[in-house]
Each structure stands twice: as C-alpha cells, then as structure tokens.
Amino acid sequence: MLRWSVIFLIVAIIAAVFGFGGIAAGAAEIAKILFYIFVVLFIVSLIFGRGKV
C-alpha cells in the first residue's frame, strides 16, 4: 500500500510539472489517503504483533 501512495505522489508531481492541476490534485489526495491508511495499519500491526513474540 505504501508503494501505491508513492506511485500516486509521483503521478501528482509529474502532472503538476506539466500543468494538469486537476489531475495533480486528485493524485495527491489519493496518495495522502493511502499514506494515512498505511500508517494506521502499521500502528495496529505493531500493537497486536507485540504479544506474539
């Protein structure tokens, strides 16, 4: 999932360079949402993964 957020971030940067404002904003928003989902899942896995070690 982190890979997808990086891909959308790169798409947003490329679209911003070429002047596609709407596409850049949409890709940046998707990248932000995926990044926050990744962070939440990472924290949850840290919390629940501690008891198994």
| Residue boundaries of the structural domains of the chain | 2-52
Q: At residue 5, does pLDDT exceed 80?
A: no
Check if the beta carbon of residue 30 is closer than 8 Å to that of residue 1: no
Residue scoring higher pLDDT (5 or 42): 42
Residue 5: closest CA among 45, 46, 44, 38: 38
For 19-52, how does the pLDDT look when each residue is reduced to its tens digit (9 = 90+)?
Answer: 877 877 888 888 888 889 888 888 888 888 876 6
Q: Per-residue confidence at 1, pLDDT binned at 50, 70, 90?
A: low
Quote the tokens at residue 37: 């989902």
